[in-house]
Amino acid sequence: MEASRLFLNSAIKEKICQYLSFENAIQFRDALGLSSLKCPITILDPKNQQEIILPGVNQTTIKAYKLIRQNGLNSAFRTAAETGQNSVVQTLLTVKDIDVNASNQYGNTALMLAVFNGHDSVVQTLLTVKAINVNETSRFGQTALMLASENGYNLIVQILIAAGANVNAASQSGQTALMDASYKGRDSVVKTLIAAGVNVGAVNQYGMTALMLASRKGHDSVVQILKAAGAV
């Protein structure tokens, strides 16, 4: 008990923590019977050997540490976003020099991965970061908005549009978010995109419009929504 009280002194905590590895800090926390150890711990990014400072030891930072050890900071950030670990994402955003727009081999960023998997809370967290590029594109020219539209995540579509997503952006094949939503029969998303001023008459490189794609797939309700918006 005395040791626990002693460790609550911030000056003593910081002095002790600077000499601890993260693994030793976990052991020290457990030995003291604490739920968390609130002091900065320095670790190394295995990809570039740069120093990373984690804000103490708790369940969230332990998860972050394990992810970082696997493939480095930026990969850990993407994985946390992809798997919906919002608390880990928030913790990693405190790390100096993190590249929030870093992409994987397919050109997918943390935002794209969070969107694709429908993690709206993570999406909202990421969009609070000024450096996040909401219109970043993958290797195939897809944006986060296209991914949300294709999968029918209407709430995320609304969040992205409010954050400045370009509703008329087109992929390498000329496919737009409206085309993706129409092809998949995402009625609510189609309505949201139309309300945001999307070009209902855009044509992809195969000469197809959103109306044609919806009609081909038999999505009658989408066809009617598009026609009501002026699509011909």
Q: What is the pLDDT of residue 6?
A: 46
> Does 122 lie in the same domain as 20?
yes
Between CA 126 and CA 122 the distance in angstroms is 6
Q: Which of 102, 129, 156 is the last residue of a domain?
A: 129
What are the backbone dihedrals phi and psi of residue 37, each rounded to the nearest 5 degrees, phi first? -120, 110
Does 2 or 162 have the greater pLDDT score? 162
> Does 140 lie in the same domain as 61?
no
What mean pLDDT is predicted for residues 49-67? 95
> Does 165 lie in the same domain as 115?
no
**In CATH, what number is assigned to the domain containing residue 145?**
1.25.40.20
Tokens 């003593």: give the residue: 12
Tell me the pLDDT tens digit for each residue of 36-46: 888 889 999 99
End-to-end CA distance of the chain: 76
> Does 192 lie in the same domain as 164?
yes
Tell me the pLDDT tens digit for each residue of 140-184: 999 999 999 999 999 999 999 999 999 999 999 999 999 999 999
Between CA 40 and CA 43 the distance in angstroms is 10
> Does 54 lie in the same domain as 25?
yes
Q: At what angle do helices 177-184 and 187-195 cross, to 10 degrees?
A: 150
Count of the separate structural domains present in the chain = 2
> Does 153 lie in the same domain as 125?
no
> Does 45 lie in the same domain as 17?
yes
> Does 181 lie in the same domain as 125?
no
- pLDDT over threshold 70, residue 57: yes
> Does 232 lie in the same domain as 150?
yes
Residue type, 61: T
What mean pLDDT is predicted for residues 108-126? 98
Residue 54 carries which DSSP code? E
What mean pLDDT is predicted for residues 120-147? 97
Q: Which of 129, 157, 182 is the last residue of a domain?
A: 129
Between CA 26 and CA 12 the distance in angstroms is 17
Query: What's the mean per-residue pLDDT of the chain?
Result: 93
Give the predicted TM-score (pTM) of the model. 0.92
Q: Which of 129, 148, 169 is the last residue of a domain?
A: 129
Tell me the pLDDT tens digit for each residue of 75-102: 999 999 999 999 999 999 999 989 999 9
**Residue range(s) defining the domain that contains residue 188:** 134-232
> Does 219 lie in the same domain as 152?
yes
pLDDT-based confidence at residue 28 (cuts at 50, 70, 90) = confident
